[in-house]
Amino acid sequence: MSHKFKVGQSVRLSAPTINRGVAGIYRVVALLPEERGDCQYRIQSSAGPQQRVAWQSQLSALPLV
C-alpha cells in the first residue's frame, strides 16, 4: 500500500464515537511506515499545536476550493 496523502496536505480526521473530540481538520506533517496493512501519518491540528498519529483509513481529503 502506498501513501494517499502528501506532506502539507489538509485532511479531515474521522474519529470513533468514543473519541469524537479529536475529529476535525489537520495538516499532514510526516509520512510514517505502513503497519497492519494501513499507512500512517503524523498530523497537526489546524486549530493549534497538537499532533497525533492517524491511520490512512481514518483520513479523507478535503475538496479543493
> pLDDT tens per residue, the chain (65 residues)?
799 999 999 999 997 655 666 889 999 999 999 999 999 999 999 888 989 999 999 999 998 76
Residue 44 CB contacts under 8 Å (≥ 6 apart), including other chains:
26, 27, 29, 50, 51
Whole-Å CA distances, 55 to 16, 37, 65: 12, 10, 25
| Residue-range domain boundaries for the chain | 10-60
d(CA 65, CA 54): 24
